[in-house]
Copies of this chain bind each other. A is one copy, B any other.
Amino acid sequence: MTATQPSHGRILRPTAKVLPEHARGHNRSLVLQTLYRQGPQSRADVSRETGLTRVTISDLVAGLMQDGFVIELGQREAARPGKPATMIDIDRAAFQIIGVDLSDQHMRAALLDLDGTVLERENADRAGRTGDDALAAVVGLIEGLVLRATAPLLGIGVGSPGIVDADGTVLTAPNLAWTLLPLQAMLRERFDIPVLVANDADVAVLAEHSFGRASGDVMLVKVGAGVGAGLILGGRPFYGSHSAAGEIGHVVIGTDGGPACACGKIGCLEAWLSVPRLTEQLAATTGTEAEQAAARELILREAGRRLGIILAPVVGALNLSEIVLSGPTELLDGPLATATIETLRKRTMAEFTGDLALRMTSLAQDDIVLRGAAVMVLSGQLGVS
């Protein structure tokens, strides 16, 4: 009588037909994912891990070896009863990825291997360039890395500030003076390999989720020239109906006014928390050394409190268990973070958020977007993340 028992979650919402070949693609990614996360192992190990039979795994692995994604490493060394296992692994040197970080005045690009390790770097100061000039600079960065690549390129991942839609079109990026710029399509056209463009905070949270201590639901708050957030909900990136999820920089905090914001409103998050604003405030402290230190702590604590106030409803609504801060450690990791988590605890239900954790990103600050861009390519091309 019962027709279908959805396996994940309570609700299955079919939208498109599913063919056996789609199942094949899924299982193929499943094998890659298993190897990617757990490293070298035998076909039989993969079989046990995935639940697919050894026969099917052998078949899938044969295809993956043919395509150059998987290699045999020789026999397992440890002596065990039975036939010795042939170890296999993703060929982590077979492909390389180019990651680009445009979130800052200092544009960064890097060549990475499949593990997300940075192999080569190519940087450039934006030096005020915008529009087509900025675009040309991006292309130049990538060109430099394409020449230095020592393996076929799996693709290019780009983390851009501003709002980026699902097709990789930058809808609006004020800092770069980009509007409706189809960056993904243009780079794809120019370099003729797969390209994925997304918002920088969305890209950063991918890196945190893949390389950092992962969890099902994460919100990463990226503090820089502006303030944005990236969300992973239920293990999947969440972009929102108009690709603008995480755009909390211009939400007003509290009911007691605050600093004026460039957007015209009073008391936006960015007006409290952006790096320029914070450094400016910190620099303006006067008095003795001790007085200045105290004043600085107050400033940071207040900024942290403001962040907590704005995050509290989000934490409550999403039942978040993990919030990650990304940005200058000297500003964020200290009184600011402490005040944020204190405020969050005070303003939400302790029963639900008792295990709420707020922490700095576990990745190198300068590389988080680069590595996230690599994850984006890995996910898009191999189904691995």
Contact = CB atoms under 8 A, between A and B. Distances in A.
Interface of A: 1-20, 22-23, 25-30, 32-33, 50-52, 64, 67-69, 152, 163, 166, 172, 194, 196, 198, 206, 215-217, 219, 229, 231, 233-248, 250-256, 263, 265, 309-321, 346-349, 351-352, 355, 376, 379-383, 385
A254 B347 CA distance: 10
A10 B166 contact: yes
Given A231-B318, A248-B313, 11 more contacts: A13-B385, A16-B30, A17-B27, A234-B238, A239-B319, A241-B320, A242-B352, A244-B319, A248-B317, A252-B346, A254-B254
Contacts of A217: 240-241
B242 A319 contact: yes
Given A3-B69, A28-B3, A244-B319, A251 B381 contact: no
A209 B347 CA distance: 30
Given A241-B216, A252-B346, A313-B313, A383 B29 contact: no
A10 B376 contact: yes
Candidate in A239, A309, A349 with the most chain B CB atoms within 10 angstroms: A349
Nearest to A349: B250
A29 B4 contact: yes
- Which of A8, A18, A64, A382 neighbours the largest number of chain B CB atoms within 10 Å of its CB? A18
Contacts of A30: 14-17
> How many identical subunits does the complex contain?
2
A215 B13 CA distance: 14
Contacts of A20: 20, 23
B16 A29 contact: no
Contacts of A311: 313
A7 B9 CA distance: 20
A349 B247 contact: yes
16 contacts: A3-B381, A4-B383, A6-B383, A10-B379, A14-B30, A15-B235, A16-B30, A172-B351, A217-B241, A233-B233, A233-B238, A251-B349, A252-B312, A255-B255, A263-B349, A317-B318
A311 B253 CA distance: 11
Contacts of A12: 26, 29, 379, 383
Contact of A13 (B13, B236, B355, B381): B236
A9 B236 contact: yes
A4 B26 contact: yes
Contacts of A255: 253-256, 309
B15 A23 contact: no
A32 B3 contact: yes
Contact of A23 (B11, B22, B376): B22
A118 to B, nearest CB: 22
A338 to B, nearest CB: 18
